[in-house]
Copies of this chain bind each other. A is one copy, B any other.
Amino acid sequence: MSSGSMTSLYSSSNARLTSIVSHFSGVRLKVVVCRHLGPAMPPLLERKDVDIVLWPEDRSCERAWLLENIKGAAGVLVLIPDFEVNQELLDAAGPNLRVVSTMSVGYEHIDVPLMAQNGIRVGYTPDVLTEAVADITIMLALMAGRNDGVAYTLVKNGEWCKPNFGWSPFTFCGPQLSTSLSSPTRTVGFLGFGRIAQATLSRLIPFGITHCIYTASPTSQPDTARDDALKAKHNLKGLDRVDIDRLARESDVLFLLTPGGKETYHLVDAAFLRKMKPMSVLVNTSRGSVVDSDALATALREKWIWGAGLDVVEGEPAITSDHPLVKESRCVMVPHIGSATFQTRLDMATCAIDNLIQGVFGGEMPAELKQSA
């Protein structure tokens, strides 16, 4: 791995200046870091201008430890599995707290309006995980279409050699992601059409995809200029913003890449799934709450759709072996590892540390959440 991006920690002359001022004025700010973040940490730990309080164990930090140690801190760096950032935490921290930095693109664990009311800045790590998540989105589309959960398990169980494996012209066949001689068009659909969806679409183009449809939040404005440009760039026969009914009916592969929360809760339910094509594949690499798991299990069992590839499931990580989706052979699931690459986690850690340091010294944070109180 390159350590090139770590230099960005030191690249802001603004922060450097603030840091020097802080140093000479004798003020030493305290920051709490809830987890060792790997190779991105040494530059932080070597800083002379802040007091770093680091949770010493290689597991999620304990709430009691955090409440004790955050006292008087100017900044705190949290991770998704950590406890909620709420009034209790603010009370424990006291009036010095200036910034909460989360090493994640999601911020459901942070009471954002409360932070705004208290003038506390929030940093997060969008963009840097776009490529890693788009990668795994393509992988899950292929795995779900090509029966690769079952195929992989068969080989690992030593059943390839057994007579009942029996090759036939259609053994293990599934729908093909790419276009082919006898099937020259393919429509991909996106629920949510932000950065990750567009990075996924780019990856799909050389598979011969001919049409793209998407459904965006009803409150968002259409962006026809962007859509026209994307359609031309990718040489698509169609790129259209459609209603959710058409999205369900026309997608050969449907990608869920939308934020979680109330607005998108169970948008993919039984009624939606019943409209989908019998050979279609559903991929969710955004938030589990978008899908009604019981409805999806029924859809797979009763063959309303062909297969599903999931990096996220409602209620995760409490997913036991008798979960209805775990029991479906046409459901490929991985444990929320969309951004789990060394490169991306390094970039996320670097961004979160940058946000923390810039935040406590009043500098420009590389990724600050826009807040409205």
Contacts and interface: CB of A to CB of B under 8 A. Distances in A.
B161 A2 contact: no
23 contacts: A4-B182, A80-B167, A131-B176, A135-B178, A142-B142, A146-B334, A146-B341, A149-B152, A149-B156, A151-B337, A153-B153, A155-B334, A158-B321, A161-B318, A171-B340, A173-B340, A173-B345, A175-B342, A176-B344, A180-B343, A181-B347, A205-B206, A279-B342
Interface of A: 1-5, 35-38, 58-60, 79-81, 103, 128, 131-132, 134-136, 138-139, 142-143, 145-149, 151-158, 160-161, 165-184, 202-203, 205-208, 279, 316-323, 326, 332-335, 337, 340-350
B177 A135 contact: yes
Contact of A343 (B160, B183, B332, B350): B183
A174 B342 contact: yes
The oligomer's copy count stands at 2
Contact of A158 (B2, B154, B320): B320
B347 A170 contact: no
A132 B181 CA distance: 11
A155 B327 CA distance: 10
Contacts of A318: 161
A138 B142 contact: yes
A152 B152 contact: yes
A334 B166 CA distance: 15
Given A132-B180, A332-B152, A321 B157 contact: yes
Given A182-B3, A206-B203, A334-B155, A167 B342 contact: no
A318 B165 CA distance: 11
